[in-house]
A and B are shown apart, each in its own frame.
Chain A
Amino acid sequence: MIAFENLEVRYAATAAPALKGLTLSIERGIVGLLGPNGAGKSTLLKALLGLLTPSRGSGTVLGVSLGAPEAARLRARIGYMPEYDALIEDASAYEQVAFWGELSGLAPESARDRAHEVLYFVGLDESRYRPVSGYSTGMRQRVKLAQALVHSPELIFLDEPTNGLDPDGRRRMLDLVLRVHAELGTGVILASHLLGDVERVADQLVILDQGEIKAAGSMAGLRKALAKRVELRFLDPLDASQEAALSELGTVLEARNGLYDLELTEADPVGAFRWAETQGATLVQVTPRHDRLDEVLLRALHGDVVRGTGLRPTPPEPPRQEQAEPAPDLSSATGASAPQER
Chain B
Amino acid sequence: MPIYAPTLPPAPDLHQGHPPVLVLMRFDFTRLWRQKIGRFFGFAFLMLLLWKVARIYIDHLLQTNQAFKPMQDFARTILTQGADFQADLLNPASYLLWFLVALVGGGLVARDTLYRVRPLMYAHPVAPKDYLLAKLGFASLLPFIILLPFAILPWLMSLLLAGLHGPVWATAPLRLLPAMAVSSVLMGSLAIGASSMAATPRAGIGWVLGLVLGAGTLASMIHGLTGIRAVDALNPIMLAEAWPQLFVGVEHPMVAWLPAILGTAFHIALWTYVAARRTRPSEAVI
Contacts and interface: CB of A to CB of B under 8 A. Distances in A.
Interface of A: 11, 42, 45-46, 49, 51-52, 72-73, 75-76, 78, 80, 82-91, 95, 99-108, 110-111, 113-114, 117-118, 120-125, 142, 147, 149-152, 159, 172, 176, 183-184
Contacts, number: 138
Nearest to B1: A123
Given A72-B125, A84-B116, A124 B2 contact: yes
B66 interface: no
Contacts of A45: 286
A137 B27 CA distance: 25
B40 interface: no
Contacts of A104: 14, 17, 124-125
B5 A102 contact: no
B17 A147 contact: no
Contact of A103 (B9, B126, B284): B126
A37 to B, nearest CB: 14
Given A89-B115, A108-B17, A120-B5, A83 B124 contact: no
Contact of B17 (A83, A106, A121): A106
A147 B65 CA distance: 66
A273 B10 CA distance: 56
Contact of A11 (B27, B35, B121, B282): B282
B20 interface: yes
A272 B121 CA distance: 58
A88 B18 contact: no
A103 B11 contact: no
A75 B119 CA distance: 12
A152 B10 contact: yes
Determine the main DSSP class of B at the interface with A: loop
A105 B17 contact: yes
B115 A76 contact: no
B2 A123 contact: yes
B30 interface: yes
Contact of B8 (A80, A86, A95, A184): A184
Interface of B: 2-5, 7-12, 14-18, 20, 23-24, 27, 30-31, 34-35, 115-117, 119-127, 281-282, 284-286
Given A52-B282, A117-B9, A86 B2 contact: no
A124 B5 CA distance: 10
B21 to A, nearest CB: 11
A51 B117 contact: no
Contacts of B9: 117
A103 B120 CA distance: 10
Nearest to B284: A51
A119 to B, nearest CB: 9
A117 B8 contact: yes
Nearest to A103: B124
Contacts of B286: 42, 45-46, 51, 82-84, 86, 159
Contacts of A80: 120, 123
Nearest 6 pairs between A and B by C-beta?
A123-B2, A152-B11, A105-B14, A80-B123, A120-B5, A110-B12
A119 B281 CA distance: 28
A212 to B, nearest CB: 21
A105 B125 contact: yes
16 contacts: A11-B282, A76-B14, A82-B116, A86-B116, A86-B286, A88-B117, A89-B115, A103-B24, A110-B17, A121-B8, A123-B2, A123-B3, A124-B2, A152-B8, A152-B11, A183-B7
A75 B5 contact: no
B259 to A, nearest CB: 38
Nearest to B280: A51
Contacts of A91: 30-31, 34
Given A52-B282, A90-B31, A117-B9, 18 more contacts: A42-B286, A51-B123, A73-B125, A75-B124, A76-B15, A82-B286, A86-B115, A100-B120, A103-B121, A105-B14, A105-B16, A106-B12, A106-B16, A107-B12, A108-B18, A124-B2, A125-B2, A152-B11
A49 B7 CA distance: 27
Contacts of A111: 17
Contacts of A84: 116, 285-286
Contacts of B3: 120, 123, 125
Nearest to B16: A107
A51 B115 contact: no
Nearest to A123: B2
B14 A82 contact: no
A265 to B, nearest CB: 44
Max chain B Cβ within 10 angstroms of own Cβ: one of A51, A73, A184: A51
A105 B31 contact: no
B285 to A, nearest CB: 7
Contacts of A121: 4-5, 7-8
Max chain B Cβ within 10 angstroms of own Cβ: one of A42, A45, A72, A159: A72
Max chain A Cβ within 10 angstroms of own Cβ: one of B11, B15, B27, B126: B11
